[in-house]
A and B are shown apart, each in its own frame.
Chain A
Amino acid sequence: MQNELTTHDIWSWLSEVSDPEIPVLNVVELGIVRDVSISNDIVHVVITPTYSGCPAMRTIEEDIVEVLEEFGVKNHEVTTVLFPAWTTDWMTDEAREKLRMEGIAPPQKGSADKGLLMGRLRDVKCPRCGSTQTSMISQFGSTACKALYRCADCLEPFDYFKCI
């Protein structure tokens, strides 16, 4: 069954695993899966958490194992690494567009928010109406990776996937 198994196959299977907290994204486009390799008939998958305390990591690991087993991979090993540290820059353009369609403002590119400590925040576009007349309500939102914003034009509150 594992004849000619390639890492390409595994990457495509892993694209079926969605993030438990933001199900519109899969763990590959989110940049959580860092590496896939096959050696001695063992499939190795390396993952990294978005935040140190991300409560979804265990579920993600279990979901990955489940998908591998579904496709007949019996020998597998999922390893978690902390570095290089995950950054929102690893998120693909498709992922950003999916977030926007879901009503979550995608992270801006160039993760190092230098202005963060100075209180200078960059314009965040409302995912609903596209206005830049938005203001931050709280730097912390419904999950560790999101901040809470409000749009002054369409008056809707929305989540912003903050840069790290």
Chain B
Amino acid sequence: MSNQVYNTYLLRLADDTLILGQRLSEWCGHGPILEEDIALSNIALDYIGQSTNVYKQLASLVNDGRDEDAIALTRMESEYVNALMMELPNGDYGTTIARQYYYSSFYLLYLEQLKNSSDHFLAGFAEKSIKEVKYHLQHATDWILRLGDGTPESHSRMQHAVNGLWPYLGELFHDDETDMEAVKEGWGVSREALKTAWTNRVNAVFAEAGLTVPSEAWYHSGGRKGSHTEHMGFLLAEMQFLQRAFPGAKW
């Protein structure tokens, strides 16, 4: 197994959930109703916990003196390799839900394959995370149905949200050289191979919600190479503030 490929693979996995977890945590104290405030904060905590587990594994492999906190919180923007969708602002509640639905429906399929990885850590990580992501997907699905099939206002906002995020999905389903190498070596998951099952699931849920599935093929990319949107710097400024101001600070 190539160490560089494996480390990059871990970093992407962890960065996706760290950045999305950071974004979601912005809803803490601002949720539209108390139950949703609690739900999104819980989901954010699951994501950050999952990323911690992967950063820990990475820290033990690179062994350069950085622990999981240092890896998570002290890199430069161009060193983060999350998919762009994760760093986009939360927007209105429809946009937050659309992203949760898109990501958790993808992520569950991805983890279900990763569970069969020949790599002991990745298989175990997937088995643990699946239990949590099932609840995330159920939560997002409930809201897609409720808002899509709700009032004219909620329907139009939900449709607007799923359209707006659609061009960020391509990055999740793209296999680049790292993914292809990982698949070839038997421990990685082909993202492209998940597309059919994912499309079928989304079509069924959107039909029930009365939403039109967007069809645009072009998509934004760059996150895996460290080229981010203009939103990323602001997110990092907030997330990294404490470790930048007080290096090595511990709770």
B40-48, B211-219, B223-231, B237-245 - interface stretch: B40-48
Question: Contact at B128–A52, with CB atoms within 8 Å?
Answer: yes
A54 and B50 CA atoms in complex are apart in Å by 10
Question: Contact at B124–A85, with CB atoms within 8 Å?
Answer: yes
Question: Contact at B132–A51, with CB atoms within 8 Å?
Answer: yes
B127 interface residue (CB < 8 Å to A): yes
Q: Which of B39, B46, B124, B141 contacts A51 (CB 8 A)?
A: B46
Q: Which of A53, A85, A87, A141 contacts B38 (CB 8 A)?
A: A141
Question: Contact at A52–B50, with CB atoms within 8 Å?
Answer: yes
Question: Contact at A83–B132, with CB atoms within 8 Å?
Answer: no
Question: Contact at A138–B47, with CB atoms within 8 Å?
Answer: no
CB-CB nearest in chain B for A88: B131
Return A152 CB to nearest CB of chain B, in Å: 18
Residue-wise, chain A 135-160 has the 8 Å CB interface mask toward B (1 for contact) of: 00111111010001000000000000
Q: Which of B11-47 contact A (CB under 8 A)?
A: 35-36, 38-39, 42-43, 45-47
A162 and B129 CA atoms in complex are apart in Å by 15
Q: Count B interface residues, CB 8 Å.
A: 29
A144 and B135 CA atoms in complex are apart in Å by 11
CB-CB nearest in chain B for A118: B138
The SS class assigned to the A binding surface is loop
A140 and B137 CA atoms in complex are apart in Å by 13
Q: Which of B46, B123, B138, B141 contacts A52 (CB 8 A)?
A: B46
A117 interface residue (CB < 8 Å to B): yes
Question: Contact at A55–B124, with CB atoms within 8 Å?
Answer: no
Q: Which of B31-69 contact A (CB under 8 A)?
A: 35-36, 38-39, 42-43, 45-50, 52-53
Q: Count A interface residues, CB 8 Å.
A: 26
Known: A85-B124, A113-B134. A52 touches B38 (CB 8 A): no
Known: A52-B50, A53-B50. A137 touches B45 (CB 8 A): no
Known: A52-B46, A85-B131. A148 touches B35 (CB 8 A): yes
Question: Contact at B49–A164, with CB atoms within 8 Å?
Answer: no
CB-CB nearest in chain B for A86: B128
Residue-wise, chain A 86-129 has the 8 Å CB interface mask toward B (1 for contact) of: 11000000000000000000000000010011010000000000
CB-CB nearest in chain A for B48: A53
Q: Which of A53, A86, A138 contacts B45 (CB 8 A)?
A: A53
B119 interface residue (CB < 8 Å to A): no
B192 interface residue (CB < 8 Å to A): no
A24 interface residue (CB < 8 Å to B): no
Known: A52-B46, A52-B129, A54-B49. A117 touches B134 (CB 8 A): yes
A112 and B52 CA atoms in complex are apart in Å by 25
Q: Which of B50, B125, B134 contacts A116 (CB 8 A)?
A: B134
Q: Which of B108-153 contact A (CB under 8 A)?
A: 123-125, 127-129, 131-132, 134-135, 137-139, 141-142
Chain B residues near A86 (CB, 8 Å)? 128
A38 interface residue (CB < 8 Å to B): no
Interface residues of B (CB under 8 A from A): 35-36, 38-39, 42-43, 45-50, 52-53, 123-125, 127-129, 131-132, 134-135, 137-139, 141-142
Q: List 7 contacting pairs A-B, 8 Å CB cutoff, sorted by A.
A: A51-B46, A83-B127, A84-B124, A85-B127, A117-B137, A138-B35, A139-B138
